[in-house]
Amino acid sequence: MVTKAEILAVGTELLMGQIANTNAQYISARLPDVGIGVYYHSVVGDNRERLRDVLRLAISRSDLLITTGGLGPTKDDLTKETIAELFDRRLITHQESLDRLKAFFNSLKRPMTENNLKQANMPDGAIVLRNNNGTAPGCIMEEKGKIVIMLPGPPSEMKVMFEEGVIPFLSERSDSRIVSRFLRIFGIGESSMEDAIKDLIENQSNPTIAPYAKEGELALRITARYPKDGGSKDLIAPIEEEIKKRLGVKVYSSNNKGLDEVVSEMLLETNTSIAIAESCTGGLISARLTETPGISRVFNRGIISYSNQAKIEDLHVKKRTLERFGAVSRETAIEMAKGVRNISETDLGLSVTGIAGPDGGSPEKPVGLVYIALDCRESTECKELNLWGSRNRIRNVTALYAFDMIRRRLLERKD
């Protein structure tokens, strides 16, 4: 039975402070779902002796060791070699991995160099984990009751391999599981939220409730421990219901989906077409919405009207409106939203105009002043925001408000 896990990141870039060890964070947050607790994180550089010492220690004090990094094609990539040596296993060519590597380089029409071959070498007897997002496969080794799992360093590769290969493997070996549900919340401050559900947080031990603040929004994690073989009673649902009852429409997701994704899916489900006119967000809102596959069915077009010329030509904003009220005004926002909807003949037209800074502010129109307008056949609404923070924060939080405005409109239309 695996109970004690350790996560070892191999890579000098971590010791140089180039990146934070987000892989360890990701894995640590997930292992409880298969009933495993994490007891140590370690980071070591691309150095054979130090790596060997750290590996030896990890294997002695933990049942499960998960390594990230050091599986690449270069001489600095030592993880597999050092672990195989420690367990007295040979590295042998894994034919399927080799074929995949060759096919990969073929498809890119790039030459495959000698050192790429080493990525297909795997410790004898290991379970190989396919890498669907990169070239380096991972693997799982078991010996003397210890499990060692090697994963690639790039988070995009690591995460997919972890979810597809590691979680199912560990789940089979576990006797309990810890289930978490994330409620995501927009439109309320952190302390107001805590006030609203304080008694729930304090009176619970299974499940537990933990609040998190993210940029411009909030989240609650509800975590329950179940025996693996069943325990049919849903411990999370009653708490979730109670929280939703108290926070209402502010809870926008119970499965940790972002506001952008929630809105994309609602647009698709309700078959509501949309067109977007962005000024200060410069395409950010459109870019986020179009991350969702299939969105082209409802996303008609986006217009990033940075210049006044573009606002007039592309969105039919009146020159007089711009002169009288300025590009950052309620009036301009509304004309932009109407304009983009009329041109596109969509159900919804959304517009954003504002001052993201750091320059361009004035006493009357300071940095952080943003107008969002949403137009549909029945009505037009416009929201004024006064945001603080960096250019990036202002852009990101503006996007959240825009998504929330669309979401609430779609909820109303449903009723």
Q: Would you say 89 or 112 has its CB closer to its own copies? A: 112
Contacts from 317-324 at CB under 8 Å and sequence distance 24+? none
191 or 232: CB nearest its own copies: 191
Nearer residue to its own copies within complex by CB, 95 or 296 = 296
Does 395 help bind its own copies (rule: CB under 8 A)?
yes
Distance CA 317, CA 346 (A): 18
Closer residue to its own copies (CB): 206 or 212: 212
Residue count, binding to its own copies (CB under 8 A): 108
When asked if residue 121 is in the footprint of its own copies (CB under 8 A), the reply is no
Q: How far is CA 164 from CA 108, 119, 325, 334, in A?
A: 25, 20, 54, 46
| Residue closest to 187 by CA, chosen among 402, 414, 1, 369 | 402
Which one, 146 or 301, has the nearer CB to its own copies?
301
In whole angstroms, what is the distance from residue 218 CA to residue 216 CA?
Answer: 7
The single residue among 48, 56, 90, 110 that binds its own copies, judged by CB under 8 A, is 110
304 in contact with its own copies (CB under 8 A): yes
In angstroms, give the least distance from the CB of 124 to its own copies: 25
* Binding of its own copies by 347 (CB under 8 A): no
| CA 380 to the chain's CA centroid | 32
Phi, psi of 142 (to 5 degrees): -125, 135
| Residue 401 touching its own copies (CB under 8 A) | no
x-or-dash string of contact with its own copies, 34-73, rule CB under 8 A: ---xxxxxxxxx----x--xx--x---x----------xx
| Of 169-177, 232-240, 385-393, 406-414: span binding its own copies (CB under 8 A) | 385-393
Work out which of 55, 66, 259, 276 binds its own copies, going by CB under 8 A: 276
Q: Which residues contact 406 (CB under 8 A, 6 or more apart)?
A: 263, 266, 267, 274, 348, 350, 374
Pick 112 or 237: Cβ nearer its own copies: 112
Q: Residue 162 gets which letter from DSSP?
A: I
Segment near its own copies (CB under 8 A), from 91-99, 233-241, 289-297, 374-382?
289-297
β partners of residue 349: 275, 375
- Give the separation between CA 275 and CA 281, rounded to whole angstroms: 15
Binder among 217, 240, 260, 278 for its own copies (CB under 8 A): 278
Residue list 189-248, contact with its own copies (CB under 8 A): 189-192, 194-195, 210-215, 221, 223
Quick one: which of 2, 21, 66, 84 contacts its own copies (CB under 8 A)?
A: 21
Stretch 152-191 residues interacting with its own copies (CB under 8 A): 154, 156, 180, 189-191
If the CB atoms of residues 21 and 351 are measured against its own copies, the closer one turns out to be 21
Rg of the chain over CA atoms, in angstroms?
26
316: left (phi over 0), alpha (psi -120 to 50) or beta: left
Told to check if 103 binds its own copies by CB under 8 A, we report no
**Spatial distance between the Cα atoms of 230 and 186, rounded to a whole number of angstroms:** 34
Q: How far is the CB of 307 from its own copies (least distance, A)?
A: 5
Nearest-approach distance from CB 108 to its own copies, in angstroms: 7
- Does 106 bind its own copies (CB under 8 A)? Our answer is no
CB neighbour list of residue 338: distance below 8 Å, 6 or more residues apart: 349, 375, 380
Q: Are 192 and 201 in contact (CB under 8 A)?
A: no
89 by Cβ neighbours in 10 Å (0-12 / 13-18 / 19+) ranks as: middle
- Among the candidate windows 90-98, 110-118, 241-249, 403-411, which touches its own copies by CB under 8 A? 110-118
Please say which residue, 128 or 201, places its beta carbon nearer to its own copies.
201
Give the x/- contact pattern for its own copies in 253-272, rule: CB under 8 A: --------------------
Q: Under 8 Å CB-to-CB from 199, ≥6 apart: which residues?
A: none
